[in-house]
């Protein structure tokens, strides 16, 4: 996140009013609005591959996938953000009648970049884990075939990792197996000796 100039000390209500009228997306935390950075080609390819693969797996389920454009609220006073991919199972719950701020995600996926990785692993991860409905939080590297899945288990969060294009991982919250080769389709990696 990079802070927008002169947009501090605002309430969540002010944020939503500004955000709904804005041309560009911003996130909110602690009385500040943060402009969202543009995406890279690699990031876009990975999000597209994930949306396609996960979306197909959800066809005959009560779950829906929303890539990138649906705002998620952690708490009324806390973080409002736009994860790269959100999955909600069952009936979605929204903050108000605008139906643009989801309260009950089941799965959140973030594709890491050099400019967002610290925030995605730090503030966002700790905030996401406060969402009662969230069962899995996934971090996907852009720079190497590597996926980290944090799963809620009896009140604790447990990490499962997979790396290498020949690997696969399971999103238990939605009953979906993902091959890393599918996540990183159409991308190449530089192999260092």
Per-residue pLDDT at 52: 97
Q: Report yes or no on 78 lying in a domain.
A: yes
Residues 80-103: tens digit of each pLDDT: 999 999 999 999 999 999 999 999
Per-residue pLDDT at 121: 95
- Most confident range (mean pLDDT) of 32-36, 57-61, 189-193 is 57-61
One domain, residues 53 and 109:
yes
What is the C-alpha separation between 14 and 17, in angstroms, rounded? 5
Q: Which domain holds residue 6?
A: 1-36
One domain, residues 170 and 102:
yes
Q: Report yes or no on 190 lying in a domain.
A: no
Residues 144-155: tens digit of each pLDDT: 999 999 999 998
Closest listed residue to residue 27, CA positions, set 150, 147, 128:
128
User: Which residue blocks in 31-183 are alpha helix, DSSP H?
Assistant: 41-57, 117-121, 123-128, 180-183
One domain, residues 119 and 166:
yes
Residues 128-137: tens digit of each pLDDT: 999 999 999 9
Residues 29-58: tens digit of each pLDDT: 999 999 888 889 999 999 999 999 999 999
What b/e readout covers 95-120, taking b as 16+ CB neighbours within 10 angstroms?
Answer: beeeeebbbbbbbbbbbbbeebbebb
**pTM for the complete prediction?**
0.93
């Amino acid at each position: 996140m990079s802070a927008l100039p002169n947009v501090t000390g605002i309430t969540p209500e002010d944020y939503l009013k500004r955000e709904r009228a804005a041309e560009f997306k911003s996130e909110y935390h602690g009385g500040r609005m943060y402009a969202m950075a543009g995406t890279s080609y690699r990031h876009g390819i990975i999000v597209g591959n994930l949306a396609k693969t996960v979306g197909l797996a959800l066809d005959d389920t009560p779950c829906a996938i929303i890539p990138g454009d649906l705002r998620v609220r952690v708490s009324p006073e806390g973080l409002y953000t736009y994860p790269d991919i959100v999955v909600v199972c069952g009936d979605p719950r929204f903050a108000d009648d605008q139906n643009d701020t989801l309260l009950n995600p089941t799965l959140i996926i973030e594709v890491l970049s050099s400019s967002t990785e610290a925030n995605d692993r730090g503030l966002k991860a700790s905030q996401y884990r406060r969402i009662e409905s969230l069962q899995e939080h996934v971090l996907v590297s852009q720079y190497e075939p590597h996926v980290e899945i944090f799963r809620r288990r009896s009140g604790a969060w447990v990490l499962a990792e997979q790396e290498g294009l020949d690997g696969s991982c399971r999103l238990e919250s939605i009953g979906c197996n993902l091959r890393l080769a599918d996540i990183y389709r159409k991308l190449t990696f530089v192999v260092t000796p």
